[in-house]
Chain A
Amino acid sequence: DTEVTQTPKHLVMGMTNKKSLKCEQHMGHRAMYWYKQKAKKPPELMFVYSYEKLSINESVPSRFSPECPNSSLLNLHLHALQPEDSALYLCASSQWRGQGNTEAFFGQGTRLTVV
């Protein structure tokens, strides 16, 4: 199984809502990532988890709250988002070899619209 599964595929939420994005992989990868992609722009890294611990937060606003409950799951909790947060959110995972030079496996993304 070389899949990274993201749910939901589409999400529309109001600025006062709380929602969560979910990501799951069963490849035994110990590094997991959240990326954000705005239209016609490249994906931008938000968070890196390694061995279920947050390793990197790319100065992401606190209205985005990541969580890694176990080695297969990665969540992104959303609260009080702004319309400019509307984007495609991609989850990825990779093996952890310390050198960081292994390929990333991506999910299909969650298309988020904040109204």
Chain B
Amino acid sequence: ILNVEQSPQSLHVQEGDSTNFTCSFPSSNFYALHWYRWETAKSPEALFVMTLNGDEKKKGRISATLNTKEGYSYLYIKGSQPEDSATYLCAFMLDSWGKLQFGSGTQVVVTP
């Protein structure tokens, strides 16, 4: 089992503030790095699939960067809204079969 670590474990953010958090993963044998958003009582929803070193992806107010050489990815939320409250999971793709090794997640709570 490879170590995929996320920090911090949880974040409390005021509405309107921006925030970011980290996923670190093994820097060898890289296939892809996934980000998922998981709201309570819903399905995990894919945000980004990142494959290339230096990748930057954006979806609305959420963006992510990838550094495969040093083994980390950042997720940024700009101008947080209450609907951004969720657990954000990163997942390291272990092989071409699609095996995902998940981090423990960062729980984000946005308060009005």
In the complex, the answer to whether A41 meets B43 with C-beta atoms within 8 Å is: no
Interface, chain A (partner B; CB < 8 A): 4, 31, 33, 40-45, 48, 50, 55-56, 90, 94, 96, 98-109
Contact A45 B99 (CB under 8 A): yes
A-B contact pairs, 27 of them (CB 8 A): A4-B43, A31-B98, A33-B98, A40-B104, A41-B104, A43-B89, A44-B102, A45-B100, A45-B101, A48-B99, A50-B97, A56-B97, A90-B44, A94-B98, A98-B96, A100-B31, A100-B32, A100-B97, A100-B99, A101-B32, A102-B98, A103-B34, A104-B44, A104-B98, A104-B100, A105-B46, A106-B36
Q: For B44, B46, B51, B102, which residue has the most chain A Cβ atoms within 10 angstroms?
A: B44
B46 and A104 form a contact (CB under 8 A): yes
* A106 and B44 in contact, given A42-B103, A101-B31, A101-B32 (Cβ under 8 angstroms): yes
How many residues of chain B have a CB within 8 Å of chain A? 26
Report whether B51 and A101 are in contact in the complex, using a CB–CB cutoff of 8 Å. yes
Residue in contact with B49 in the complex, picked from A33, A56, A103, A105, CB distance below 8 Å:
A103
Nearest chain A CB to B13 CB, angstrom units: 21
Q: Are B89 and A42 in contact (CB under 8 A)?
A: yes
Closest 3 CB pairs of A and B: A42-B102, A103-B46, A101-B32
Total inter-chain residue pairs, C-beta < 8 Å? 67
Q: A42-B89, A42-B103, A42-B105 are in contact. Are A100 and B43 (CB under 8 A)?
A: no
Q: Report the separation of the CA atoms of residues A56 and B102 in the bound assembly, to the nearest whole angstrom.
A: 17
User: Whole-angstrom distance from the CB of A50 to the nearest CB of chain B?
Assistant: 7
The residues of B with any CB-CB pair to A shorter than 8 Å are 4, 31-32, 34, 36, 41-46, 49, 51, 89, 93, 95-105
Cα–Cα distance between A16 and B97 once the two chains are bound (Å): 34
CB A73 to nearest CB in B, in angstroms, measures 18
Most chain A CB within a 10 A radius of its CB, from B4, B97, B98: B98
Residues of B close to A105: CB separation below 8 A: 43, 46
**If the complex has contacts A99-B31, A100-B32, are A107 and B98 also in contact, measured as CB distance less than 8 A?**
no
A102: which of B4, B41, B49 is its contact (CB, 8 Å)?
A: B49
